[in-house]
Amino acid sequence: MDLHDYKDVAQNYDRYLEVMYENHDAHEGFQDFYLELAKEYGQGGVVDIACGTGAVLLYLAERGINIDGTDISDEMCKVASAKAQEMNLNLNIFPSDMTNFSSGKKYSLAIIARSGFMHLLSQDLQIAALKNIREQLADGGILTLNTFDPAPFIQAQQMSCSDSDYSFRLEYINSDGNREKIYNAISYDPVSQIMHGNWKFEEFDNDGNVIAERIRPLKMRQTYRSEMYLLAKLCGFEVIGLYGDYHKKKADIQMEHSLIWILKII
């Protein structure tokens, strides 16, 4: 299982992300970026793949975009569906794997926001996902996804760490109203290009005593730019845009914390 498959993580996901990005938000402006993209390319329908708890899905739906949502985590889909109901939005949100999902209709735009694509842990899975998504898109359809430029100095640090070398990440108030601390430990395998590790959650009572501890695994694969260009071409796409942030800063040769790819069916 992955971090996002657990009910406790899904229920608290929005809460700890708010704290995680309060001082530095690497995804600043992402909702409006996708709204603009949907207005330009989404007239034939949009699908939010790896939709999580609905940050993009609900934002776009609330603004009149015809959009479906899917995520491999059933728990994330449940949270997104509950939020949609509270907003009086009647949406098609369904659990599925991006390598083989099908809703029975074609879309003109597919979105994989944030790190969704990076949870595919091999080139075979990446190829399967890209080819399947291509099948779910209408002729000339657009796919946008995110990666980041792997940083050698960070990789070197992670290669010297284990899955239990925890560092404090943040503190927040969980869905039960209790204070909770999050620690994570990340290691890196340069052969598979996989970051693997664990997140540790410590929950406290009002007296500051630890009343629960949970360990949740997380794995993500790093993909280099040159590799992504080849994957896109192999799977029937061309790269028509590459940005270094959600304000459409052109990605140049320097390393970028976030890369937003715009792919079009050839």
Confidence at residue 245, expressed as pLDDT on a 0 to 100 scale: 92
Q: pLDDT tens across 67-111, in order?
A: 999 999 999 999 999 999 999 999 999 999 999 999 999 999 999
Confidence at residue 22, expressed as pLDDT on a 0 to 100 scale: 83
- Whether the CB-CB separation of 109 and 139 falls below 8 Å is answered with no
Encoded amino acid at 252, one letter:
D
Q: Note if the pTM is more than 0.85.
A: yes
Q: pLDDT tens across 238-258, in order?
A: 999 999 999 999 898 777 788
105 phi and psi, to 5 degrees? -140, 165
Q: Is 2 a residue whose pLDDT tops 90?
A: no
Per-residue b or e along 199-237, where b marks 16 or more CB atoms closer than 10 Å to that residue's CB: bbbbbbeeeeeeeeeeebebbbbbbebeebeebbeebeb
- Whether the CB-CB separation of 112 and 98 falls below 8 Å is answered with yes
Q: pLDDT tens across 180-232, in order?
A: 999 999 999 999 999 999 999 999 999 999 999 999 999 999 999 999 999 99
- Rounded distance, CA 34 to CA 17, Å? 19
Query: Packing angle between helix 55-62 and helix 74-86, nearest 10 degrees?
Result: 30
Q: Is 146 a residue whose pLDDT tops 90?
A: yes
Residues 6+ apart with CB under 8 A from 67: 38, 42, 45, 46, 47, 48, 57, 60, 61, 91
Confidence at residue 257, expressed as pLDDT on a 0 to 100 scale: 82
- Rounded distance, CA 220 to CA 125, Å? 12
Confidence at residue 111, expressed as pLDDT on a 0 to 100 scale: 98
Q: Is 48 a residue whose pLDDT tops 90?
A: yes
